[in-house]
Amino acid sequence: MGMDYIVSRRRWLASTVTLLSGVSLRGQPPDVRYSTDVSVVNVLATVRDKQGRIVRDLTKDDFNLVEDGRPQTIRYFATQTDLPLTLGLLVDVSESQRRLLATERGASYRFLDQVLREDRDLAFVLHFTREVELLQDLTASHKLLQTAIDAIGNPPPSPTDRSGGARGQQRGSGYPRGGGRSPQGGGRGAGGGGGTALHDAVLLASDELMKKQKGRKALILLSDGVDSGSKVRLDDAIGSAQRADTLVYALRFYDEEAYVREFPRFGGRGGGRGGGYPSGRSGEDGKETLKRLAKETGAGYFEPTTKLPIGAIYSQIEEELRNQYNLGYTPDKAAGSGEYRRIQLTTRRKDLLVQTREGYYGRP
């Protein structure tokens, strides 16, 4: 693994302060600098028919692209992009998710093993409770990714642990060492000072890892969507992913029994919005959070069930990533630094559904 991908602990601590304290009270994302060509806006899109099947035979002339209400000319178009792929696996390991982790681990490794090409693609793995912990920095090694996935939800090693592997060697790469976890491995236990920093995890993964990468980029987020400990708002997390040109695929794993055990005095689900959770947070809040993350970044939202297991969902995500249209255009009016521009991409065929990001931020 080259040193270009290693984020030092000192740099991480400094960047964490910058990123998490640099967000204004109005929820505006922190300023970000870019080194890429800012004159061309790239848009990745997946197109499906009414039956949900992916449509692969469209041409540039089949699309209409509008920015802030003004039609734009599509100048670049590819139907089978071979761009490098960067994937990030973000797993919620708070107490409400503990019973689901074994299923998530196995399916997640099979997905990465099948999708990643070791000669050109990269992936990283992190988990989060009150704080975010990087288990494996960007790598093309399936072996290192397997080791990191096996470590999801496990307590961090002691300072004297010299066993090596993804956690033994990569823990110093910038993310805190699982701070905030109780001795029992919790993280959201009432009265235990826990929390779930979902927004922070998305922002830090986007700004610290994804922003530097080229090509296609996607985060795979496994959580119930309930955030109870982040320093930044949901708008900031979405903005960071949009600035990094990153899709956020959201998989909602919800274990109601875990909430009954964790917050018995609230009666589990409770009645109505926020009725069963501390600080006014509810399962429905979490669902809407994940839907927004997926929709506004141009990715998909899924709820694993017995009829739609996580393995089938990963197969669908893989199909999307392998069958995206890559469109590029130069805006008729250049966006100012940090200015948000809304994108609307449609097809001339009214029976097709286009899945793509909703906008972008002007770059300095």
If you search the block for the tokens 């909602």, which residue do you land on? 252
Pair 144, 182 in one domain: yes
Q: Is residue 60 part of a domain?
A: yes
What residues are paired with 132 via a beta bridge? 128
Interval 92-119 mean pLDDT = 90
**Residue 278 in tokens:** 């501390």
Closest CA to 86 of 219, 240, 256: 219
pLDDT reading at 275 higher than 80:
no
Asked if residue 10 belongs to a domain, the reply is no
The per-residue pLDDT for 19 is 55
- Both tokens of 56, joined, read 């692969």
Query: What pLDDT sits at residue 178?
Result: 37
Q: CA-to-CA distance for 30 and 243, rounded, in angstroms? A: 10
Residue at 1 is within a domain: no
Residues 6+ apart with CB under 8 A from 195: 94, 129, 130, 180, 187, 188, 228, 229, 230
Domain assignment present for residue 34? The answer is no
- pLDDT 10s digits, 47-97: 999 999 999 999 999 999 999 999 999 999 998 667 889 999 999 998 888
Task: Report the pLDDT averaged over residues 239-252.
Answer: 95
State residue 124's pLDDT score.
Answer: 98
Percentage helix, strand, coil, to 5, in the chain? 35, 20, 45
Roughly what angle, to the nearest 10 degrees, separates helices 310-322 and 101-115? 30
Q: Is the pLDDT of residue 256 over 90?
A: no
Q: What mean pLDDT comes out for the span 236-260? A: 87
Whether the full predicted model's pTM is greater than 0.85, yes or no, is no
Q: What is the pLDDT of residue 294?
A: 97
> Do 256 and 204 meet the contact criterion of CB atoms below 8 Å apart?
no
Q: Which residue segment(s) compose the domain that 51 sits in? A: 41-80+325-361
- Quote the mean pLDDT of the chain: 78
Confidence at residue 16, expressed as pLDDT on a 0 to 100 scale = 53
Per DSSP, the three-state class of 20 is: helix
Do 45 and 172 fall within a single domain?
Answer: no
- Checking if the pLDDT of 309 tops 50, the result is yes
**Residue 84 confidence (pLDDT):** 87
- 272/175 same-domain check: yes
Q: Is 35 a member of any domain? A: no
73 and 102 in a single domain? The answer is no
Pairing of strands 353-355, 70-72: unpaired
Helices of type H across 98-253: 101-115, 142-150, 165-170, 198-208, 234-243
Question: How far is residue 304's CA from residue 313's CA, in Å, rounded to a whole number?
Answer: 7
Q: Which of 25-29, 138-142, 219-223, 259-263 has the lowest mean pLDDT?
A: 25-29
Residues 176 and 215 in one domain: yes
- 248 and 215 housed in the same domain: yes
**Is the residue at 63 inside a domain?**
yes
pLDDT value of position 83: 81
Residue 301 has pLDDT above 90, yes or no: yes
- Examine the pLDDT at 286 and tell me if it is beyond 80: yes
Give a yes or no: residue 24 inside a domain.
Answer: no
Q: Look at residue 155 in the predicted model and tell me its pLDDT.
A: 73
In sequence order, what DSSP letters do the residues of 100-138 get, joined into one string? Answer: GHHHHHHHHHHHHHHH--TTT-EEEEEEESSSEEEEEEE
Q: Calculate ∠ Cα 151-298-230, nearest 5°.
A: 50
Structure confidence by residue, pLDDT tens digits, 26-58? 333 333 332 344 478 989 999 999 999 999 999
Indicate whether 256 and 136 sit together in one domain.
yes
Alpha-carbon distances of 107 from 104, 305, 331, rounded to whole Å: 5, 14, 41
Both 159 and 73 in a single domain?
no
Residues 178 and 55 in one domain: no
Task: Please report whether residue 7 resides in a domain.
Answer: no
pLDDT-derived band at 249, boundaries 50, 70, 90: very high
Predicted local distance difference test score (pLDDT) of residue 157: 62
Residue 243 has pLDDT above 60, yes or no: yes
The confidence band for 341, taking pLDDT boundaries of 50, 70 and 90, is very high
pLDDT confidence tier of residue 262, bands split at 50, 70 and 90: low
Looking at the structure, tell me whether residues 162 and 64 fall in a common domain. Answer: no
CB-based contacts of 15-22 (< 8 A; 24+ apart in sequence): 15/174, 15/207, 15/208, 16/176, 16/204, 19/203, 19/204, 19/207, 19/208, 19/232, 20/200, 20/203, 20/231, 20/232, 21/231
Q: What percentage of the chain exceeds 70 in pLDDT?
A: 70
One-letter amino acid identity for 22? Answer: G
Number of domains in the chain: 2
We report the CATH number of the domain holding residue 150 as 3.40.50.410
pLDDT in tens, 167-219: 544 333 344 433 333 222 333 332 234 579 999 999 999 999 999 998 899 99
pLDDT surpasses 90 at 348: yes
Same domain, 222 and 308: yes
Contacts of 362 (CB under 8 A, 6+ apart): 38, 334, 335, 336, 337, 338, 339, 340, 341
Residues making up the chain, counted from first to last: 364
Q: Using 50, 70 and 90 to split pLDDT, how confident is the model at 363? A: confident
Per the listing, tokens 């060509």 go with 37
Cα Rg of the chain, angstroms? 20
Other Cβ atoms within 10 Å of 265 Cβ, number: 6
- In this predicted structure, what is the pLDDT of residue 167? 52
Q: Are residues 166 and 293 both part of a single domain?
A: yes
